[in-house]
A and B are shown apart, each in its own frame.
Chain A
């Protein structure tokens, strides 16, 4: 039974397109996160939602917009995709005291 799931696993698209990545967790956590992992494996937090409320919004271009319809879902929409957006995007679900559980990742390739 998957705890944190993401779709799609792979996403290949052209510059200028708009795309979305979906995330769902069945752990009953109140907090969810989006991370970006670059080609050097560096992980950087992008957003966090607690009970559908945005609580972390790091320096991310406005083209990235998270949406949380309920506390079990956190989606990421990206407008006008650029080459530099190519990365692996991870969703995570937060337990107590910063403990986080990660999804399998979505590898985004922008051509």
Chain B
């Protein structure tokens, strides 16, 4: 069975500080990994994805994530956070013929001015 753990329920950073959101997954084969962002009252927007190849992937809004197979992790990073990055962030793992995505419980990011 596939699963995702996001250990941090809530993270607060200051504007301009760096950010790392943690994600650990469990999957029986090579996983497809995703990060989504959800602003209040909005749908989920795809930030970035990993299918194969280079383990460091770049996404939109200046985000990047690194796939580490040995640690079963796919952490999201941003060098300098903006106030507009305040949102809920979801890591997800997928694969298989039915393309099912399993989401983590999310990390709420608060940005202090």
Interface residues of A (CB under 8 A from B): 4, 31, 33, 40-45, 48, 50, 55-56, 90, 92, 94, 97-105
Contacts and interface: CB of A to CB of B under 8 A. Distances in A.
Interface string B81-104: 000000010101011101111110
B100 A43 contact: no
Which secondary structure dominates where chain B touches chain A?
strand
Contacts of B94: 97-99
Given A97-B32, A98-B34, A90 B43 contact: yes
A104 B100 CA distance: 20
Contacts of A31: 99
B105 A105 contact: no
B88 A41 contact: yes
B69 to A, nearest CB: 17
B101 A98 contact: yes
A92 B36 CA distance: 13
Given A102-B44, A104-B43, A43 B99 contact: no
Most chain A CB inside 10 Å of its own CB: which residue of B51, B90, B92, B101: B101
B46 interface: yes
A63 to B, nearest CB: 22
A56 B90 CA distance: 21
Contact of B106 (A41, A56, A90): A41
